[in-house]
Amino acid sequence: MSSDNSIQNKNIAIYSDNHDTKSENSVFSLVVNKINRVISPTKNRSIKIMDDTKRPLILLVDDSIIPIKLISKSLATNGVDCHYVHDGHQAIERIVNEKYDLIVTDVHMPILNGIELVTYIRKSLRLPTPIIAASYDISAKIDILGAGASCFVLKPIHINDFHVTILDLLFPKRY
């Protein structure tokens, strides 16, 4: 690595553990792309989302109570205020009465699912608010992104990765 911290393409030789003289060594080319930024977790494995002025407000929408409370608590300790509701109808009531900086929704919920919620937010309310959609089912990704979600997160959610996703959507030019 050079002194300016740039990363260059390198060739790496990988040799077999087999000591048979008839086996051949293989050489692979490994391309390493430069990373524009790295957001590292602190010692307590959390990432400080914001430490100045107005705290972002996020709406969490999920019919599972325990995960939503854990995510809400984690985000609150890292500089984000959260409201949470348990279905799409409750979410719409909140969204029309409150301005959110970000919405996080589960895809599979009773009453009004995440795809219907995102469609309503984009087509009826015409809100540009970033929306993260989450599901255990990777096949839901195409439908939810097609409905207008900003990004898709596969469950179970790794909280540090989730914090980075939130940073990217809340502050795209800051980090």
Output the DSSP codes for 86-128: SSHHHHHHHHHHS--SEEEEESS-SSS-HHHHHHIIIIIS---
Whether pLDDT at 174 is above 70: no
The region of weakest confidence among 44-53, 60-69, 136-145 is 44-53
Q: Which two tokens stand for residue 32?
A: 């390493």
- For residue 87, what pLDDT is reported? 95
Higher-confidence position of 172 and 144: 144
**If we measure between CA atoms, which residue out of 132, 93, 130 comes closest to residue 111?**
93
Higher-confidence position of 41 and 63: 63
pLDDT 10s digits, 6-19: 334 433 333 334 34
Q: What value does the mean pLDDT take over residues 55-72?
A: 91
Confidence of residue 142 (pLDDT cuts 50, 70, 90): very high
**Sign of the CA dihedral running 34, 39, 42, 44:** negative
- For residue 52, what pLDDT is reported? 54
Q: Is the pTM of this model over 0.75?
A: no
Indicate the pairing of strand 131-135 with strand 151-154: parallel
Residues in CB range of 173: below 8 A, 6 or more apart: none
In whole numbers, what is the pLDDT of the chain averaged over residues?
Answer: 76
Whether pLDDT at 153 is above 50: yes
CA distance to 76, 103, 155, per residue, from 138 (Å): 28, 19, 9
Domain boundaries, the chain: 57-170
The fraction of the chain above a pLDDT of 90, given in percent, is 47
The fraction of the chain above a pLDDT of 70, given in percent, is 68
The region of weakest confidence among 48-57, 140-149, 156-165 is 48-57
Confidence of residue 160 (pLDDT cuts 50, 70, 90): confident
Could you please state the CATH topology (level 3) that the domain comprising 57-170 is classified under: Rossmann fold (3.40.50)
